[in-house]
Amino acid sequence: MLIRFALLGAVLALNIPGCKKSPNASPDGQAAGASPAAGAVAAPSAAPVATPEPAPAKPTVDQNAQVILFGYHRFEKTVRRPDTEMTPEMFEAQMKELQDKKIPVIGLQDFLAWKRGEKNIPPRAAIITFDDGWKSQYDVGWPILKKYGYPVTLFIYTEGIKGMKFGGGAAMSWEQLAEMRDAGADVQAHSATHQDLRKAYDKVQKKKLNPEEYEQWLTAEIIGSKQLLEQKLGIRVNSFAVPFGYINDPVREFITKAGYEAIFTVYGQRLTYTSPNDSLGRYLMEGNKPKVFSDAANFSGSTSGGGAAPVAEISSESLQAQPASGETVKTALPLMRANLASMGPIDPGTVQMRVSGLGVVPATFDEKTQTISYQPTQKLRDKSCTVIIGGKSGDKKVEASWTFSIDDAALAAPATSAAPAVSSSPAPSPAKK
C-alpha cells in the first residue's frame, strides 16, 4: 500500500502543468536543505530577467553651426565658358584659401548626419561638390583635393558617363567613378539626361509629354538614375542635385517620394541646422566671378533656415520673351529681351540676366516698361541657349528662364550674318565631346 501511494504522488506531480524543478534541487530530486515529504510538488521558479542594454546616447551637436557648399564643373587651361569652367590654378587657389582661413572641409554625408542629430561638425565648415561627371574632375580637380585632404561629392547625370548617350571623350568613365568611390568620394544623383524637370518636354526625344508620359519621364530621370548609380557602383544614393537648380513643388515632391533625403539647388546660401532638406542651396563657381567664392568663404551670404523655397519660379510664358522659348533663330547675335511685369514689384537694383556660356551679362533694365534686354557683342557658340532672369520682389527672390536654339548655319556664319528668327524645336542636351 505504501508503494502505491508513493507512485500516485509521483504521477500527480508530473501531470501538474507549469511545474518545474527547483533550480536548487539535489541530484536525488530533493530540495537542498529541506526535509523530504511524500507527494510534495516543487514551486515554479521565476525566469531570469535580462538587464536591458542602455541605449547609446546621441552625441551633442552644435545647432548653431553653419555650412557652405561649393559646386564646380570643369577645369580647363583655356576657359571658354566661364559659367561652368575655371583654370586649375584658380581652383587650387580657392582650396588653399579654405585652408588658410582654417575652414574645415567635411563630407556631404557628415553634413546630413549632423542635420539628423547623429554627428557633430565644426562651427563653420565647407563642402566641395563636382557636377555632371567631367573627366577634368578626375584628372585635375581630384588630385588637387587629395593634396589638401578634402572629401568630395560627385553629382552625376548618368547618360553623361562615357559610353552612355551623351558621354564623349570629355566624360568620366564608370571605372574612374569606381576608383574615386573606392578612395572615399561620395557619388550622388543629378538626373539621367540633365534637363529641366519642371517642363513636360523631353529634349532628347524632341517631344511634348502628356501627363502619363511626363510621370514616366520623371521616373526615369529621378528614380532610374538613382537605381543605375546604385547598381553600377554598389552605393547608396540619398541626395539629388536638380539640373540647373530648376525646381518647383511638384518636382520637389516627386524627388522626396522617390526616397531621397536631400535636394540641392544652385542658390548659394549659408546652410544651418534647420535649413529645409528639400531646398539646400550651393554656390556654383564661375571662372570669372572670384568674388562669389570669397563672399561665401567669409560666411557673408544669406542663410537658409525656414521652410519655404528660396526662389519663386515665374512661368516663362508671361515674359513675352525674345527669342521665344523653343524658337530657333538664324543669328548667333540675337537680341534677348523679356518683360518682368508678371514678377510683381521688383527692386531695380537686383535685376539680373544670365546667359548660358556667358554668365551674368550687362543687361539694360527699363523701369518704366519693366523690360530687360541684352544685345550680345560676340557670337554665341552653343546651339542651345538658356536665359535666366531674376531679382528681388519684397523679401523673396523671383526668377524665370527660357531656352531657344541657334540655327547651325548661323553658328558657322560670320558675326554680321544676322537674320530673322524661325521657329523650331529645342535642341537636345549636348554630348561631352
**Helix, strand or coil, per DSSP, at residue 107:** coil
For the chain, give the longest Cα–Cα distance. Answer: 130
The 3-class secondary structure across 204-269, one letter per residue, is CCCEECCHHHHHHHHHHHHHHHHHHHHHHHCCCCCEEECHHHCCCHHHHHHHHHCCCCEEEECCCC
Q: Measured between alpha carbons, how far is 109 from 239 in angstroms, rounded to an integer?
A: 9
For residue 49, name the pLDDT band (cuts at 50, 70, 90). Answer: low
- Name the residue with cell 519642371: 198
**C-alpha cell of residue 413:** 556664319
Q: What is the mean pLDDT of residues 140-161?
A: 97
Please tell me the least confidently modeled range out of 6-10, 163-167, 251-255: 6-10
User: Could you tell me which residues are beta bridge partners of residue 283?
Assistant: 70
pLDDT in tens, 306-358: 444 445 555 566 788 899 888 899 999 999 999 988 877 888 888 988 887 77
- Measuring CA to CA, which residue among 214, 303, 215 is closest to residue 257? 215
Q: Which amino acid is at 159?
A: E
Strand residues in 79-183 grouped as ranges (E): 85-86, 124-132, 153-156
> Taking 50 as the threshold, does the pLDDT of residue 162 lie above it?
yes
Buried b (16+ CB within 10 A) or exposed e, 263-287: bbbbbbbbbbbebbbbbbbbbbbbb
Q: Between 292 and 343, where is the model more confident? A: 292
For residue 270, name the pLDDT band (cuts at 50, 70, 90). Answer: very high
Q: Measured between alpha carbons, how far is 182 from 193 in angstroms, rounded to an integer?
A: 25
The DSSP line for 375-429 is --SS---SSEEEEEEEEEETTEEEEEEEEEEE-HHHHHS-TT-----EE-PPPPP
Q: Which amino acid is at 53?
A: E
| Number of continuous H segments (helices) and E segments (strands) in the chain | 11, 24
Q: What is the pLDDT of residue 19?
A: 38
Q: What is the pLDDT of residue 28?
A: 41
Q: Measured between alpha carbons, how far is 159 from 243 in angstroms, rounded to an integer?
A: 13
Cβ contacts of 412 within 8 Å, gap of 6 or more: none
Q: Measured between alpha carbons, how far is 284 from 299 in angstroms, rounded to an integer?
A: 15
Burial class, 1, CB count within 10 angstroms (exposed 0-12 / middle 13-18 / buried 19+): exposed
> Taking 50 as the threshold, does the pLDDT of residue 3 lie above it?
no
Give residue limits of the domains in the chain: 66-309, 316-423
Q: Which fold has domain 316-423?
A: Immunoglobulin-like (2.60.40)
- Name the residue with cell 538626373: 191
Residues 157 and 130: beta-carbon distance below 8 Å = no
The rounded mean pLDDT for the chain is 83
Residues 125 and 104: beta-carbon distance below 8 Å = yes
Residues recorded for the chain? 433
**Helix, strand or coil, per DSSP, at residue 27:** coil
Q: Measured between alpha carbons, how far is 283 from 401 in angstroms, rounded to an integer?
A: 19
Rg (CA), the chain: 32
- Using CA of residue 306, residue 311, residue 315, residue 318, what is the dihedral sign? positive
Q: Between 45 and 157, where is the model more confident? A: 157
Q: How many CB atoms lie within 10 A of CB 419?
A: 12
Q: Measured between alpha carbons, how far is 245 from 264 in angstroms, rounded to an integer?
A: 8
Cβ contacts of 45 within 8 Å, gap of 6 or more: 20, 22, 23
- Using CA of residue 103, residue 84, residue 203, residue 315, what is the dihedral sign? positive
- Using CA of residue 204, residue 284, residue 380, residue 87, what is the dihedral sign? negative
Read off the DSSP letter of residue 184: T
CA distances from 387 to 174, 358, 390, 405 (A): 32, 10, 10, 11
Q: What is the pLDDT of residue 387?
A: 87
pLDDT in tens, 50-84: 666 666 667 788 999 999 999 999 999 999 999 89
- Measuring CA to CA, which residue among 369, 380, 375 is closest to residue 404? 380
| CATH fit for domain 66-309, picks 3.20.20.370, 3.40.50.1820, 3.40.50.300, 3.40.50.2300 | 3.20.20.370
Read off the DSSP letter of residue 169: T
